[in-house]
């Protein structure tokens, strides 16, 4: 059976349909990871910032 490391605690976890928390080892690790995403602890790297132009130009004073 294939095993993977839990993304949160690195514990070896069997990759099978019986593991309802896969790829995590437990519900606790699954919720901790979700909380980290919600708190902006993870970021997806981007090679360069996208070009940004406001949809509406500000009015001059």
pLDDT tens track of the chain, all 61 residues? 899 999 999 999 999 999 999 999 999 999 999 999 899 888 877 777 667 766 666 667 6
Task: Tell me the CATH number at 22.
Answer: 3.30.50.10
- Is 60 within a domain? no
Partnered with residue 13 across adjacent β-strands are 4
Number of compact structural domains in the chain: 1
pLDDT score at 57: 64
Residue 19 structural domain: 3-38
pLDDT value at residue 5? 96
For residue 56, tell me if it sits in a domain: no
Q: Is residue 22 part of a domain?
A: yes
Instruction: Supply the pLDDT for residue 27.
Output: 95
In a domain, residue 45? The reply is no
* Residues 6 or more apart in contact with residue 25 via CB below 8 angstroms: 6, 8, 9, 11, 13
For the residues of 6-55, what is the DSSP string, one character each? -TTT--EEE-STT-TTTTSSSHHHHHHHHHHHHTT------SSPPP---S
């Amino acid at each position: 059976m294939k095993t993977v490391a839990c993304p949160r605690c690195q514990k070896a976890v069997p990759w099978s349909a019986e593991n309802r928390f896969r790829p995590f080892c437990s519900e606790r690790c699954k919720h901790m990871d979700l909380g980290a995403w919600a708190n902006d602890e993870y970021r997806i790297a981007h090679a360069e910032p996208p070009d940004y132009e406001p949809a509406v130009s500000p009015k001059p004073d």
